Amino acid sequence: MTTQAFVASIVEEIIRPGINRLMESRYFSDLRGGTLTTRRLQGFALQHYLLNVAINKGFTLCMAKNAHNQELYDLFLHAFTEEQTHPYLMKRFGLAIGLAEEDFDDALPIFECQAHAAAILRGMFLGSPAESRTSALVNESMVGRYAVEFDTCLAEKYGIDDHEREFFTVHAVADQEHTALAARVVERYCTTERDRRVVAHAARNMVRFKLAKFDGIYDAYG
C-alpha cells in the first residue's frame, strides 16, 4: 500500500465513520431538530473559544520548535495565520446568543474538552510530524462537516444572521483546504511501518476525543 493509499484508508475507515457518529449524536440531532437549548449552544461557544486560544498558542510554539525545518515552520506559520481570528469569531457568535464578555473571561474547560485540547497539544509538542498532522486531519475533517451543519441549522432553525455565523461559514469552506494540507503532510512524513501504526492510533484516539467533547458539552450544559 502506498503512503497516499494508507492515508486515504485512515480517512475512509476511521475518520468518516467518526463524522457519521458525530452527526448522529444527541448534540447534532437536537441541533437539526431545532431543540438544542441556548445553554448548550453557549457551552459550545465557550469551550470552542478556549480551544481556539490554546491552539493558536500551540502554533506559535510549534513555529519555534520547528525553526530548523523550513517546511514545518512554514506549515505552522500558515496555520496560525489561518486560525488567529477564530477565537474572535467564536466569541462574536457567543455574544450573539446571550453570553457576555465576562463569561469568556471566567470560562473553564470541562473535562472532555480539556482532554481533547490536551491530546491536540500533546501531538504538536511531543508527536512526530505525521502524528501531529493526523490530529489536524481528524479535527479539520470533523470541524468542516459540523460547521456546515451549524451554519445551515443556525440560519434555518435559530435565526442567527450571516455576520454572527461567520465562524461556521468560514470553517465550512476553509477546512476543506486544511484537511487536504494535513493529508499531504501526513503522506510526506509517514515513512515507516511504525509511523503508520502511530498515525492510525492517533486518528482513532482523536475521533474518540472529538465525540466525547460534544457528549461532554451536552451533559455539562444541560
Tell if the pTM clears 0.75, that is, is over it: yes
Residues 98-153 have pLDDT tens digits of 999 999 999 999 999 999 999 999 999 998 999 999 999 999 999 999 999 999 99
Residue pair 119/58 in contact (Cβ under 8 Å)? The answer is no
Domain-wise residue ranges, the chain:
3-220
Q: State how far the Cα of 145 lies from the Cα of 176, in Å rounded to an integer.
A: 9
Residue with grid cell 517546511, as numbered in its chain: 71
For position 175, what pLDDT does the model report?
A: 61
Residues 203-213 have pLDDT tens digits of 999 999 999 99
> Is domain 3-220 given the CATH code 3.90.600.10 in the classification?
no
